[in-house]
Structure 1
Amino acid sequence: MWPRKKGKKRKLYTFDKLNQRKFQQSVFDATTRNSFYNIEDHPERASLEPILGIYETEAAPLIKRIIEKRNIAWLSDKDRLNIATFVAVQRARSYGEFMRIDHMVSAISGKLSKVGATLDQMESELGSEGSTERKAMFFNLILDQKDTIRHLKAKSWILYETEARDPFFISDNPVTLYNHIDMGAFGNLGVALKGIQVHLPLSSTLTLALICPSIAESAVEAKKKVKRLISTNPHLLKYLEQTFGLIKLGEAYENGTAMTQSADNVRFLNSLQVSYAEQYIFCEKDHFALAEEMIDDNERYKTGPRIQVS
């Protein structure tokens, strides 16, 4: 994920949500769960790592260049496809996503048992908790990302930036989703839904956001309106909040430039990393007060998100 320095191993501060402890470790140790991607019951214990590595290899030089240029306007259609593929697979492959799916299937099994399904019937269809069948189901979902990739590629892309003194978090489940539109019991976090925002930190100071086009269109239109006011009725600008910010946001969507985030926006993006993390949050600095505060308020944040089955 984040660029790795040659020579001396780069260290990240790590916060363990489950046990509420902090420590330092290398980038490699922070992003590896040994043997998780090995396929059980295979004669040669085959692994998905080589397959997943293909996606990382395609995206790695593109992400490195984004970080160097602090701009995404140069990305070609193929570049965007490669990065969208990386984001989709990165989201699908996380241990947190596996735990979310395993928890959901267990909840469904519990509901089925209440309406008379036998243990054998449920295990035949859904596998038992922690079983090879469920892990295989998860692996199939990792590789079946065509629709997700198509939707991600079609989003409006924007680059968010923060200062080194107020860095972005990243976690063991780094692709986060947010939607300001309340869609009730059906949920609002599908990648194809109106209003969806998908975020992936690329470095401690840059986050790539794949945003619903309707949001980008509103931002660009707001920029145009502000510029018209400057030309025709500048006296009305005093009634607008963050006039310069509206122009910068519209330009960031149009020109691919990095949009500097306020402290509140950095806190919001970091709160999503805390919420989505299955267990570990990483940061360039020992700045985990937000994570501690969220867990103190609600112990639900000690794990990653879980789907409620009613």
Structure 2
Amino acid sequence: MNQHVRNQHYVPQFLLKNFSSRGDKFIWAYDKNEKYNIHNQIKERAIRRVASEEFFYDQFKSSKIGSYEYALKEAEDAAAPIISNIINTKSIRDLSKKDRRRLSLFITLQYLRTKGQLLQTEYLTNTLSEQIKQKTNIQIEKVDSKKIWFLMLEQSIKFPEILMNKVWMLSESNNSFYISDNPVALQNSTDTSKVRGTLGLQSFGIEIYLPLSPSLTLCLFCEKLFKNSGYEKNFIENSTCAPENIKNLNSLQINYSQRFIFSHKKDFDLVKKQLKNTTHK
């Protein structure tokens, strides 16, 4: 019987290795939680030890039975060679329907599986319980947020079709992209309503971004925008990012990160500037 995986990654190692600083083993990391020790704030860390936590996906701690680690690993193994080929060819033109489906599942799971998403689930469930208590004076039994989060992972099979229908594109840079510990970032530049949510996977104008390497970010755009213009293909040609586009994509990684921003090089000036401006607001 295979030994149970102890250190479970919520960002796959194969993806982080694309951003490695040396030998597929190390990566530069900026720790947002470290406020005082500069050496620990920006540090070259072992990839096997970042964006991970012991028994993170276990329903029963230290037990292989019922652990989500292995279903997630299957999705990783299916997506890894497709992403490797995209990086090598710098193209998504020839992706088969099967490849798009596998990548769509991978992106969906990557969006849901991080510690940042778990903490967000905990925050929302606790907030809802508190609001019910305040309005009804009824004490709600403590909700197991992690069970709800696991249920979300189980329901993820419903979402890949939504992503498959998007219009896909590769954004290119000169080795300038960051990745974070919560790397699937959403944006809506079309619908900027402050009254309703605009970041649902089916929202009009939704944009979905996943960095694949320092030079490539996979972009998924709302298909409705293109169909309204008569465009029927499911991809558009690569776009070379202008400096402001690179800054925007990296800013999204900083905003979505739970704790760490990663890079293949020791350059986190944008992170420092953005976090400083956020603190001073």
Q: TM-score range by the shorter chain?
A: 0.7 to 0.9
What is the alpha-carbon distance in structure 2 between the residues aligned to residue 42 and residue 59 of structure 1?
27
Q: Percent identity?
A: 26
Note if contact 2:93-2:235 (Cα within 8 Å) is conserved in structure 1: no
CA distance in 2 between counterparts of 1:158 and 1:43 reads 40
Whether the 8 Å contact between 2:118 and 2:149 is mirrored in structure 1 is: yes
Aligned to 2:177: 168
Structure (1/2) with the larger helix percentage: 1
Work out whether 1:34 is the aligned partner of 2:49.
Answer: no
Count of residues in correspondence between the two structures? 259
Q: Match of 1:187? A: 197
1:43-62 counterparts in 2 under 5 A? Answer: 46-62=66-82
* Structure 1 counterpart of 2:215, from 205, 209, 223: 205
1:17 maps to amino acid: K
Pick from 182, 187, 194 the counterpart of residue 178 of structure 1: 187
Matches within 5 A, 1:124-135: 127=143, 133-135=144-146
How far 1:18 sits from its partner (Å)? 2.0
Distance 2:24 2:277 in 1: 35
Give the match for residue 150 of structure 1.
161
Whichever residue aligns with residue 187 of structure 2, its letter is: Y
Alignment of 1:222-241 (within 5 A): none
1:292 deviates by 1.4
Does the CA-based 8 Å contact 2:167-2:220 persist in structure 1? yes
Which of 239, 258, 276 is the equivalent residue of 1:296?
276
Amino acid paired to 1:289: D
Aligned residue in 2 for 1:85:
105
Q: Displacement, 1:99?
A: 0.6
Shift of 1:146: 3.2
CA apart distance, 1:285 = 1.4
CA offset digits 1:182-218 (Å, max 9, x no partner): 2333210000011000000011110001101244458
Tell me which residue corresponds to 2:149: 138
Cα distance in structure 1, aligned partners of 2:229 and 2:155:
33
AA aligned opposite 1:105: T
On the 8 A contact 2:108/2:160 being kept in 1, the answer is: yes
What are the within-5 Å matches in structure 2 for residues 266-305 of structure 1? Answer: 266-299=246-279
Aligned mates of 1:87, 1:142 — CA distance in 2 = 12
Q: TM-score, normalised by structure 1?
A: 0.76
CA RMSD after TM alignment: 2.6
Aligned residue number for residue 130 of structure 2:
110
Q: 1:43 to 1:27 in 2, by over 3 A?
A: closer
Which structure 1 residue ranges, 5 or more long, are not aligned?
128-132, 222-250, 302-310
Partner of residue 8, structure 2: none
Work out whether residues 252 and 259 of structure 1, in 8 Å CA contact, stay in contact via their aligned partners in 2: no
2:27–2:47: 8 Å Cα contact kept in structure 1?
A: yes
Query: Cα deviation per residue 1:88-144 (whole Å; 9 max; x = unaligned)?
Result: 00101011011111111111111111123433x342xxx1xxxxx211110110121
Q: Distance in 2 between matches of 1:260 and 1:33?
A: 36
Unaligned runs of 5+ in 2: 1-14, 36-40
Q: Which amino acid aligns with 2:217?
A: T
Shift of the 70–139 alpha-carbon distance from structure 1 to 2, 3 Å rule, reads same
